[in-house]
Structure 1
Amino acid sequence: LVAHLVGAEALVLLTDIAGVLTADPRLDDSASLIEEIMVVDQELEALAGGAGTVRGSGGMATKLAAARIAAWSGVRTVIAAADRPGVVADALADVAGTGTVVRPRSEVLPARKLWIAFAVASAGTVVVDAGARRALESAGRSLLAAGVVDTKGRFAAGEAVEVADTDGVVFAKGIAAMDVDALRAVRGVRTGDLPEGLPHEVVHRDDLVVLPA
Structure 2
Amino acid sequence: MTAADRRRDVARARRLVVKVGSSSLTAPGDGSLDEGRLVELVDALATRRLAGQQVVLVSSGAIAAGIGPLGLARRPGDLATQQAAASVGQGALVAAYQRAFGAHGLTVGQVLLTADDVTRRSHYTNAKRTLDRLLELGIVPIVNENDTVATQEIRFGDNDRLAALVAHLVHADGLLLLTDVDALYDGPPSRAGSSRVPSVVGGVGLDRLDIGGTGSSVGSGGMLTKVEAATIANAAGITTVLTSASRIRAALGGEDVGTVFVPSGSRRTSRKLWLAHATTPRGRLLLDPGAVRAVTERRTSLLPAGITAVEGTFADGDAVDLCGPEGQVIARGLVNYTSAELPGMLGRSTRDLAKELGPGYEREVVHRDDLVML
So what's the TM-score if we normalise by structure 1?
Answer: 0.87
Q: Provide the residue aligned with 2:214 in structure 1.
A: 51
Alignment-derived partner of residue 113 in structure 1: 272
**Which blocks of at least 5 consecutive residues in structure 1 are unaligned?**
none
Question: In 2 relative to 1, CA 120–41 (structure 1 residues): closer, same or farther, beyond 3 Å?
Answer: farther
| Alignment-derived partner of residue 137 in structure 1 | 296
Shift of 1:107: 1.7
For 1:154 and 1:57, locate their aligned partners in 2 and report how far apart those are by CA, in whole Å: 28
Q: Identify the residue that residue 281 of structure 2 maps to in structure 1.
A: 122
Task: Report the CA distance between 1:165 and its aligned residue.
Answer: 0.7
1:98 is matched with which residue? 257
Whichever residue aligns with residue 20 of structure 1, its letter is: L
Do the aligned partners of residues 148 and 85 (structure 1) sit closer, same or farther apart at CA in structure 2, a change above 3 Å counting? closer
CA-CA distance at 1:118 after TM superposition: 1.3
Write the deviation string for residues 118-139 of structure 1: whole angstroms up to 9, x where unpaired: 1121111011011111111122
Structure number with greater CO (CA < 8 Å, separation at least 6) is 1
- Give yes or no for the alignment of 1:22 onto 2:189: no
Aligned equivalents of 1:134 and 1:41: distance in 2?
24
2:350·2:361 contact (CA, 8 Å) conserved in 1? no
Corresponding residue to 1:63 among 226, 238, 248: 226
Instruction: Identify which range, 32-41 or 124-133, moves more after superposition.
Output: 32-41
The gaps in structure 2 that reach 5 residues or longer are: 1-164
Q: Take 1:181 and 1:41, find their aligned partners in 2: how far apart are those partners?
A: 41
Go from structure 1 to structure 2 and tell me whether the alpha carbon gap of 1:56 and 1:19 turns closer, same or farther (over 3 Å shift): farther
Q: How does 1:1-213 map to 2 (within 5 A)?
A: 1-26=165-190, 28-40=191-203, 44=207, 47-53=210-216, 58-84=221-247, 86-90=249-253, 93=254, 95=255, 97-195=256-354, 196=358, 197-211=360-374
Letter in structure 2 aligned against 1:193: D
1:13, 1:80 within 8 Å by CA — same for their partners in 2?
yes
Confirm or deny: 8 A CA contact 1:124 1:152 kept in the other structure. Answer: yes
In structure 2, relative to structure 1, the CA distance for the partners of 1:122 and 1:46 (3 Å cut) is farther
CA distance, structure 1, for counterparts of residue 186 and residue 369 of structure 2? 38
Matched residues in 1 for 2:210 and 2:219: separation?
A: 17
Say whether the 8 Å CA contact 1:15–1:56 is kept in structure 2: no
Distance in 2 between residues matched to 1:82 and 1:117, nearest whole Å: 29
Contact 2:317 2:337 in 1 (8 A): yes
Distance 2:173 2:331 in 1: 27
Q: 1:192 to 1:102 in 2, by over 3 A?
A: same
CA distance in 1, matches of 2:220, 2:289: 40
CA deviation string 1:131-168 (max 9, x = no partner): 11111112211111111011101111111101111111
Q: Which amino acid aligns with 1:87?
A: A
CA distance in 2, matches of 1:208, 1:141: 9
Contact preservation (8 Å) 2:180, 2:244: yes
**Cα displacement (A) at 1:193:** 1.7
1:14–1:85 distance in 2 versus 1, CA, 3 Å: closer
The structural deviation recorded for 1:190 is 1.9
- Counterparts of 2:322 and 2:205, CA distance in 1: 18
Tell me by how many angstroms 1:47 deviates.
Answer: 2.2
CA distance in 1, matches of 2:311, 2:204: 26
Percent identity, aligned pairs only, is 39
Question: Which one has a bigger Cα radius of gyration?
Answer: 2
Matched-pair contact (CA < 8 Å) for 2:283–2:313:
yes
Using the size of structure 2 for normalisation, the TM-score is 0.51
Distance change >3 Å, CA 42–CA 137, structure 1 → 2:
farther
What SS does the aligned partner of 1:198 have? helix
Bigger shift: 43-52 or 118-127?
A: 43-52
- Partner SS, residue 260 of structure 2: strand
Quote the RMSD (CA, aligned, Å).
2.2
The offset of 1:46, in angstroms, is 7.2
CA contact (8 A) 1:15 1:57 kept: no
In the TM superposition, residue 73 of structure 1 has moved relative to its aligned partner by 1.0
3-state SS of paired residue (1:180): coil
Number of equivalenced pairs: 206
